[in-house]
């Protein structure tokens, strides 16, 4: 019986002492880091929604279908917030289009 108590204590410590069910340990994103994502939905507030390993990220000024480089501003237990790096969607869309064109030229 002592062994069960000890196991539970170790589990609590690994989560920083919190006993919440919504805290699933390490998140797939970190504050201040940049990631390449595709925005798949729009939130009720009008922000884009992207996911990394199923973890929800709200992207300011993101648009559905947009591939963007984002910088994470804040990470919470259930979601993160981020902003688009380098001035936003139009430059990102152009660069992905030109990449597609150049790869087609190479294969042709």
User: What would the mean pLDDT of 14-31 be, rounded to a whole number?
Assistant: 66
Identify the pLDDT of residue 23.
52
Would 108 be classed as within a structural domain? Answer: no
Task: Give me the chain's average pLDDT, please.
Answer: 75
Q: What does DSSP say about strands 79-84 and 55-60: parallel, antiparallel, or unpaired?
A: parallel
The CATH number of residue 60's host domain is: 2.40.50.140
Would 17 be classed as within a structural domain? Answer: no
- Number of domains the chain contains: 1
pTM: 0.60
Identify the pLDDT of residue 41.
97
In what helix (H) or strand (E) does residue 13 lie, and over which residues does it extend? helix 2-14
Is pLDDT above 90 for 61? Answer: yes
Distance CA 38, CA 67 (A): 4
Would 21 be classed as within a structural domain? Answer: no
What are the strands, taking DSSP E only, across the chain? 34-38, 41-42, 48-52, 55-60, 67-75, 79-84
Which has the higher per-residue pLDDT, 41 or 25? 41
Distance CA 12, CA 18 (A): 6
Is pLDDT above 70 for 45? Answer: yes
């Amino acid at each position: 019986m002592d062994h069960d108590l000890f196991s539970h204590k170790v589990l609590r410590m690994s989560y920083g002492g919190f006993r919440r069910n919504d805290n699933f340990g390490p998140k797939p994103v970190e504050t201040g880091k940049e990631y390449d994502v595709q925005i798949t939905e729009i939130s009720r507030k009008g922000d884009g929604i992207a996911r990394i390993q199923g973890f929800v990220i709200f992207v300011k000024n993101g648009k559905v279908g947009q591939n963007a480089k984002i910088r994470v501003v804040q990470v919470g237990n259930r979601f993160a917030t981020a902003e688009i790096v380098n001035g936003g969607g139009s430059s990102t869309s152009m660069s992905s289009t030109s990449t597609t064109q150049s790869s087609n030229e190479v294969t042709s």
